[in-house]
Structure 1
Amino acid sequence: MTVSPANSLRLRVGFVLARRFTLSAFANFVDVLRLAADEGDRSRPIRCQWRVLAPSSQPVQSSCGIAVTPDEKLGDPSRFDYIVVVGGLIDEIERLEPDYIAFLHRAAQAGVPLVGVCTGAFILHRAGLMDGYRCCVSWFHHEDFLEQFDGLRPVSDQIYVVDRDRLTCSGGASSAHLAAFLIDRHIGRAAAQKSLHIMIIDEAMAPDDPQPGLPLDLATDDPLVRRALLMLQQNMDTPPAVAEVAAHLQVSRRKLERHFAASLAMSPADAFMRIRLSQVRMLLARPDRTISQIAAETGFCDASHLIRVFRDASGMTPEQWRKTARQDAAA
């Protein structure tokens, strides 16, 4: 790859990849930079540059087994505008090499903003670099974060968080939106939108757009309840009955109900409906979804069934809720 002259670059990003990092989070971030860096999709690093950094030239293996070879040694972090830490599997966080940790501390001391992608926020916090900052983690890892880091409440209901010189996102597709935020900031909105459109992403999401996941009021440290909630979340279009969930988890229905009552003060059926209605509200925020489509995606028989249940729960129809939400956003 031919590198453009230094004076034409508006954005320089260095990547630190943890062992067993999430490839999709890394690739989404890089592709937004790549597509914004040049005309069309020619991929020349004219307006921005990205480099994978490591203490040695040894390839770093992702969680799916694909390895990435570093471009250059860690060196002086001040040659970059941002250092992005891409995490992955929870078990690998403690194994980050000391050279990486020292490099991240040098970056912080030099005033280089640090970005945590996926479990990259865990790595930054474990390194002592998130004290006093808000940080975003995936809803899927919310409880894991609380177990490892006392005294810090992660943000798990937004796709990314920008808090001064710390930027964090939940991983996956959200890394593309955080990268687009940086492109918008340093190169321009048109370049950011172009990148997302080429990646077949309709528009950039704002930091406070919600993550698609479990409602935070259903957070629990009961492993049985967490497994039951995750099972429903993964089968939203054909929601299993409580008895099916109990059988899958190899417990009695009564035991499952006792665990839900003790940890969430509600029945499994009520918790499952809360998850489905939370997903309905998220989909209602998207103008391209009809009520019939939303009903199908969230396991309701048809639009009439969804309208009836939604009105009973919220006091308004889905269309009324959608209209109110738009008015609030425009205010």
Structure 2
Amino acid sequence: MQRVAFLLFPGFQVMSLAAASVFEFANLEMKEPIYETLYVSETGGKIMSSLGLAVETQAFDDPTFDTLIVSGAPQEAVPTAGERLFMQEALARSRRLASICTGTYFLAHAGLLDGRRATTHWIVARDIQKRFPKIKMEEDRIFIIDGSIWTSAGMTAGVDLALAMVEKDHGIDVARAVAKKLVVYHRRAGGQSQFSALLEMDPKSDRIQSALTYAKRNLRTPLSVEQLAEAAHLSPRQFSRAFRSETGQSPAKAVENLRVEAARLMMEEGRHSIDVVAQETGFADRERMRRAFLRAFGQPPQAIRRNAQREHAA
């Protein structure tokens, strides 16, 4: 049986413990206790969360777990000297050390992420990168695996992290069954963006939403303003004005964002050549797609694919 410990500290965020349900349901799926879930802290006893809910913990002593997961908090949390030492020993003696959301601060303060790729909640990613320049921060990721250290984005991304652990330990069928019982996706890939182009635009009217849905389904075509206006049942002039008013961007920019999002997923899957990806997502040629990737991510498509391949190998 694998021991999974959650490291809690005063002011931790309860949402971090949602990941524990993944291990609970893995036990139910396997009809035997394959995971033992523990809650540890420096002092032991009741640890108060940011929500005012207290969780009973045991004082950490032996850092030998299969997996140690550091919880997040609504703001930066700095580990004590004892917590730093505990995490450093856990990294040496446990199979996996992970953080959820802003738990990345804990690992960063302990120097455990120096020279490693990591992610965290997008709100604090740039602050961590600025203050801990040795970390290779990738702010637009659901989770990242670098050796024995796993880091995840904010809040619900901890569930994706835990599902990936179950998949690694017991196979994709078990992880998929757990996700289904938890009524969550199985599973957002680690390399998937923390953002969605459609959610970012958040149109207010059904007409503009219909145009965006049409665009997403027809990315391979040129997608002129006239086509989108027809899908919205508006004149081109009315459509352009309403679109910018509701989304804050032009139809052309919105279409590019949708194309980039689709192309990035195809690049990370790695099943198609760059030329095929460019054609299937409507960029027409690889150079136009490369320029769009640089604008959106600051990296060319090849770099996105290499990062995904490294995560898959890990």
8 Å CA contact 1:117–1:171 kept in 2: the answer is yes
- Distance in 1, matches of 2:261 and 2:112, equals 40
1:73 deviates by: 2.5
1:137 deviates by: 1.1
Query: Which residue pairs with 1:87 in the alignment?
Result: 72
Distance 1:324-1:207 versus aligned 2 partners, 3 A rule: closer
SS at structure 1 position matched to 2:195: coil
Q: Tell whether 2:39 aligns with 1:49.
A: no
SS at structure 2 position matched to 1:90: coil
Query: Which residue pairs with 1:193 in the alignment?
Result: 176
- The residue correspondences of 1:163-242 to structure 2 (distance < 5 A) are 163-212=146-195, 236-238=202-204
Query: Which residue pairs with 1:313 in the alignment?
Result: 253
Distance 1:147-1:302 versus aligned 2 partners, 3 A rule: farther
Query: Which residue pairs with 1:33 in the alignment?
Result: 23
Distance 1:159-1:121 versus aligned 2 partners, 3 A rule: same
- Distance in 2, matches of 1:98 and 1:104, equals 10
Distance 1:302-1:237 versus aligned 2 partners, 3 A rule: farther
Distance 1:290-1:31 versus aligned 2 partners, 3 A rule: farther
8 Å CA contact 2:142–2:194 kept in 1: the answer is yes
What is the RMSD computed on CA atoms of the aligned residues?
3.9
Query: Which residue pairs with 1:261 in the alignment?
Result: none
- Residue identity in the other structure for 1:63: S
**Structure 1 stretch 199-208 or stretch 150-159: which is displaced more?**
150-159
Q: Tell whether 2:80 aligns with 1:77.
A: no
The answer for unaligned runs of 5 or more in structure 2 is 220-227, 233-238, 273-314
- Distance in 2, matches of 1:324 and 1:154, equals 18
1:58 deviates by: 2.6
- Residue identity in the other structure for 1:87: G
TM normalised by structure 1 equals: 0.62
TM normalised by structure 2 equals: 0.65
Q: Tell whether 2:87 aligns with 1:104.
A: yes
Distance 1:116-1:202 versus aligned 2 partners, 3 A rule: closer
Percent of aligned positions that are identical: 21
- The residue correspondences of 1:265-284 to structure 2 (distance < 5 A) are 284=216
Query: Which residue pairs with 2:141 in the alignment?
Result: 158
- 1:21 corresponds to which of 12, 25, 47: 12
- Distance in 1, matches of 2:37 and 2:230, equals 48
Distance 1:302-1:144 versus aligned 2 partners, 3 A rule: farther
- Distance in 2, matches of 1:303 and 1:22, equals 44
Distance 1:303-1:212 versus aligned 2 partners, 3 A rule: farther
8 Å CA contact 1:184–1:191 kept in 2: the answer is yes
Distance 1:73-1:328 versus aligned 2 partners, 3 A rule: closer
1:112 deviates by: 3.6
The answer for unaligned runs of 5 or more in structure 1 is 1-8, 215-231, 240-275, 292-299
SS at structure 2 position matched to 1:176: helix
Kindly tell me the number of residue pairs found equivalent between the two proteins.
244
- Residue identity in the other structure for 1:74: F
8 Å CA contact 2:44–2:60 kept in 1: the answer is no
SS at structure 1 position matched to 2:194: coil
- Distance in 2, matches of 1:290 and 1:176, equals 32
8 Å CA contact 1:22–1:118 kept in 2: the answer is no
SS at structure 1 position matched to 2:137: coil
Distance 1:290-1:129 versus aligned 2 partners, 3 A rule: same
- Distance in 2, matches of 1:125 and 1:170, equals 15
- Distance in 1, matches of 2:259 and 2:182, equals 30
SS at structure 1 position matched to 2:175: helix
Q: Tell whether 2:132 aligns with 1:146.
A: no
Distance 1:327-1:52 versus aligned 2 partners, 3 A rule: closer
1:105 deviates by: 1.4
8 Å CA contact 2:167–2:175 kept in 1: the answer is yes
Query: Which residue pairs with 1:59 in the alignment?
Result: 46
Query: Which residue pairs with 1:268 in the alignment?
Result: none
1:109 deviates by: 2.6
8 Å CA contact 2:7–2:40 kept in 1: the answer is yes
- The residue correspondences of 1:131-142 to structure 2 (distance < 5 A) are 131-142=114-125
